Structure 1
């Protein structure tokens, strides 16, 4: 309803049933008589034995102890689970042992980037690398015999170095 139409309302909106107030007095008096009768009763009808609440906890505990617990049947047997996992482990082991590829892994199959990444991330020092090499690997002739020609040096610098590196001398 709009605010401008509120001054036109003539009734409250509350209604009572027909002949409600004709019998109201009789119903009120009847209800009051019932309440007087209830108030005059000295015994409400509920009797609690003497000392009932004093030993209630002890009786409840004794009753709960005597109560039989139902038998619980486990849906998953741990023995069956152990057998199944053992069989699965044996199958996986058999598959890896008997059905492996025949070609052995060689150093050529490993990517150079993987080896460089491993060496960079392992924080190896010179002593660790030296312990892996023997005297034949550290022979002086291996280092001296490698000579660089001007062409190979020039090709390397053209392919792998940028102008900024050469200018700033990084």
Structure 2
């Protein structure tokens, strides 16, 4: 490897030159530009954080309220038959006469349409039941 000598190499000229007497009044020009600039409105960081934190809190509240509102709107007001039957079976002081008193004509019509007893089925039930007098009296 040959020795590298800086003094012997040709010097390259850069493309940049400063104009004549550029730095003579440089400080005066910079001060004049600084004084001529208008005041810029500065928004403090703590105010921006406050708005951002309020926005984040609102998003969190809305996000947490969605399942609660959805649960309240989807709950059904009607009782299903199994729940009602279980409730009535565990009520010891409830008899058939109490249930009959609560029925109106629409309910009785629905019960008549739902029960389809044939004559043969009715005869079989009456023939096989030893307490026929109880069934007739009820």
User: Which TM-score band (shorter chain)?
Assistant: under 0.3
Q: Which has the higher contact order (CA 8 A, sep 6+)?
A: 2
Q: When the two structures are superposed, what TM-score results if normalisation uses the length of structure 1?
A: 0.22
Q: When the two structures are superposed, what TM-score results if normalisation uses the length of structure 2?
A: 0.26
